[in-house]
Amino acid sequence: MTNNQQAWRRFRRDGMAILGGAILLIIIVAVAIGPSIYRLPIDRIDFGQSSAPPSWEHPFGTNDLGQDILARVLFGGRISLMVALAAMFVAIFLGTFIGAISGFYGGAIDAVLMRLTDLFLSLPQLPLLLLVVYLFRDTVRAIAGPEVGIFVLVVFVIGGLNWMSVARLVRANFLKFREMEFVMAATAIGASQRRLIWIHIFPNILGVIIIAATLSVGNAIITESTLSFLGLGFPPDVPTWGRMLYDAQNYLTSAPHMALFPGLAIFLTVLSINYIGDGLRDALDPKTR
């Protein structure tokens, strides 16, 4: 039995990880094909249905403008998940690149890159995040438009401020594997540095990177929701889950369903991703084999 088959068997035995995977799959399918099935427009205003509670006509109720919340949750889920995935790729790429270079070459390169990592870790993330978005959002809107510009800015800001833990994790594993016998043997027979990194070391830390990636997705969803909740994310006509919470904050007592359903979507998505990450960590850990 291969290591991949053993890892899959261990993952299947983790009930919470399987439950998290099922919930996440349901959410992904819902936001992917839901708007094609549930065709109520997300921007149709009907003040006669303002803040209406859940009903057969509007299963999640309506917001203060009479817009259907279910349609907006389904549509907004696409944006929230795309932002989370794109920000995760940015964070994983930066963290893996910096951690690999630092751990493989060591010396002065390691010292400089790790001091840079320490500098980013010491910065207060949320205030810096808000400051960068506030300073540059008008510029990127003028260049790429209000929606695409904010998407690119939010993705790179979130990813650019969440790579440090990945870099430390990758560096630690590179430091460990570069001293092992199989790497030393490959070096002795003349393997190039590129081959050592990509063929001998990187496949052995891929499981660690996958686990970090799953956890980064949940963190990115929460960060994007925080930005939108504070009014510094997407414009009001783009219904991300965080933006819907921001719009609902003044109606928590009179229409709590406006905040309940987008908040529940964020909660279930992040919780399921964390369960999957925990399951992958246990399944890919060589100590559990």
Query: In angstroms, rounded to a whole number, what is the distance separating the alpha carbons of residues 157 and 118?
Result: 18
What pLDDT is recorded for position 4? 66
Closest among 68, 70, 119, 77 to 98, alpha carbons compared: 119
Asked whether residue 93 is assigned to any structural domain, the reply reads yes
**DSSP of 255-270:** -THHHHHHHHHHHHHH
Q: What is the pLDDT of residue 149?
A: 83
Instruction: Examine residue 46 and state whether it is found in any structural domain, yes or no.
Output: no
Looking up residue 152, the CATH number of its domain turns out to be 1.10.3720.10
Where in the sequence is the domain holding 208, given as residue range(s)? 3-33+80-288
- Contacts of residue 251, defined as CB under 8 A and 6 or more positions apart, other chains included, come to 51, 63, 64, 258, 259
If one counts the domains in the chain, the total is 1
Q: Is residue 74 part of a domain?
A: no
pLDDT, residue 287, reads 53
256 inside domain: yes
Per-residue pLDDT of the chain (289 residues; tens, 9 = 90+): 566 677 778 878 888 889 999 999 999 999 999 888 988 888 888 888 888 889 888 889 998 888 899 999 999 898 889 998 899 999 999 999 999 999 988 889 999 999 999 998 888 877 888 888 888 888 888 887 777 888 888 898 889 888 998 999 999 999 988 888 888 888 888 888 888 888 888 888 887 888 888 888 888 888 888 887 777 777 777 888 888 888 888 888 888 999 899 999 989 998 998 888 888 877 776 555 5
195 in a structural domain: yes
pLDDT recorded at residue 196: 85
Q: Three-class SS of residue 62? A: strand
CA 280, chain centre distance (Å): 16
Contact 220, 192 (CB under 8 A): no
Contact between 63 and 76 under an 8 Å Cβ cutoff? The reply is no
**Assigned token pair, 283:** 């399944």
Residue 75 domain-assigned (yes or no): no
Residue 45 lies in a domain: no
Judge whether 240 lies within some domain. Answer: yes
pTM of the model: 0.83
- CA dist., res. 73 & res. 243, Å (int): 10
Report the number of secondary-structure helices (H) and strands (E) in the chain: 12, 0
The answer to whether 43 and 247 are in contact (CB under 8 A) is: no
CB 53 within 8 A of CB 14: no
